[in-house]
Amino acid sequence: MNYNLHANLAQAPLAYPRCGAINAPAPDLGAGLHAASARYEHCGLFLRRVSTHLSSEHQTRRQQDRQQAITARPPSAAPLAYVAVLGDMGPVPSTMVEASASIHALVRGDRQP
């Protein structure tokens, strides 16, 4: 497989803390959930995992996954209790998004209890 590691590995040389050798990290195939890793060239020891996505892509995907998760999961006991403390008399929220929207509306005063 050919992974496009773009600028994630384009780093200045780093000092290896054990022996003091100064080398740029070398790309290597990752293991498990990671597509690639960076290793010290002189000894091959692991430095860090490398993402195949730019950080902006990573943040976008993370936000999309988070939004999908909160629209599918029921709210926990804490937000439901907080909605009750705020005095909401409407229907009980069935998802995390509904609970969050109810809390925000009640706190801001957009909706009366």
Question: What does the pLDDT look like over 45-83, one tens digit per residue?
Answer: 766 766 666 778 878 888 999 889 888 899 999 999 999
Domain that residue 77 falls in: 55-108
Structural contact between residues 39 and 26, judged by C-beta atoms closer than 8 angstroms: yes
Q: Is residue 45 part of a domain?
A: yes
User: d(Cα 106, Cα 113) in Å, to the nearest integer?
Assistant: 7
Q: Is residue 113 part of a domain?
A: no
Structural contact between residues 40 and 47, judged by C-beta atoms closer than 8 angstroms: yes
Global pTM?
A: 0.47
Top-confidence residue, 100 or 25? 100
Look up residue 16 and give its amino acid. Answer: Y
Residue 91's region, left for phi above 0, alpha for psi from -120 to 50, else beta, is beta
Query: According to the model, what pLDDT value does residue 20 have?
Result: 76
Q: In this structure, are 45 and 69 located in the same domain?
A: no
Look up residue 89 and give its amino acid. Answer: M
